[in-house]
């Protein structure tokens, strides 16, 4: 009877630990839906993580024929240079008992203008918020409109 009780106790405690295990940004990046990074396949994402683990340059050819590079990877965040004008960053946070993923896409122009689209997701990639857009593009248009014309 004691052995049965001990075995059941160990099994239930292991199940609780498995449920409380927080996912790393690596696991979340691997399971990210293709719709969020449309021209970066699952194999590309896996290759970049493997290259970073091997301390190699993590560059892959995306489906558009361009180069995509992972420039930073830790247990809770990563940064991927999608192309010359787009940077993707991911950060994971523990909020109460839930895992929250913050995904930011920053788009740059040649004139030092940018647009940042931020959105939060749960660990199953279900949106927790609507996308929030920060932009200098419209501000520059307003500045140009206010210039004196000849």
pLDDT for residue 80 is more than 70: yes
pTM: 0.74
Predicted pLDDT of residue 23: 84
Predicted confidence at residue 21, as pLDDT, reads: 53
- Please report the DSSP string for the chain in residue order: -HHHHHHHHHHHHHHHHHHHPPPPHHHHHHT--TTTSTTS-HHHHHHHHHHHHTTS-EEEE-TTSSEEEEEEE-SSEEEEEEETTEEEEEEEEEETTEEEEEEEEEEE-TTS-EEEEEEEEETT--BSS--EEEESHHHHHHHHHTS---
User: What integer pLDDT is reported at residue 149 of this predicted model?
Assistant: 60
Mean pLDDT of 74-81: 95
Contacts of 44 (CB under 8 A, 6+ apart): 60, 61, 62, 68
**Does the pLDDT value for residue 143 go beyond 80?**
no
Q: Label residues 11-42 b or e (16+ Cβ within 10 Å = b).
A: eeeeeeeeeeeeebbbebbeebeeeebeebee
Q: Is residue 110 very low, low, confident or very high in pLDDT (cuts 50, 70, 90)? A: confident
Supply the pLDDT for residue 10.
43
Token pair, residue 117, equals 């689209």
Please compute the mean of the pLDDT values over residues 94-100 and round it to a whole number: 89
Check: CB of residue 12 under 8 Å from CB of residue 28: no
Residue 127 in this model has a pLDDT that exceeds 70: yes
pLDDT at 43: 94
Q: Do 45 and 29 meet the contact criterion of CB atoms below 8 Å apart?
A: yes
Q: Which of 10-24, 51-65, 98-112 has the highest mean predicted lDDT (pLDDT)?
A: 51-65
CB atoms within 10 A of CB 83: 14
């Amino acid at each position: 009877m004691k052995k049965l009780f001990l075995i059941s106790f160990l099994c239930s405690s292991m199940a609780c630990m498995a449920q409380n295990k927080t996912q790393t940004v690596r696991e979340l990046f691997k399971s990210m839906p293709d719709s969020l990074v449309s021209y970066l396949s699952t194999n590309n994402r896996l290759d970049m993580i493997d290259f970073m683990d091997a301390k190699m340059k993590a560059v892959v050819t995306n489906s558009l024929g361009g180069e995509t590079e992972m420039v930073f990877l830790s247990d809770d965040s990563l940064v991927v240079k999608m192309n010359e004008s787009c940077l993707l960053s991911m950060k994971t946070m523990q909020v109460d008992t839930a895992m929250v993923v913050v995904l930011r896409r920053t788009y740059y122009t040649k004139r030092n203008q940018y647009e940042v689209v931020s959105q939060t997701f749960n660990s199953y990639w279900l949106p927790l918020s609507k996308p929030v857009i920060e932009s200098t593009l419209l501000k520059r248009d307003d500045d140009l409109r206010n210039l004196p014309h000849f």
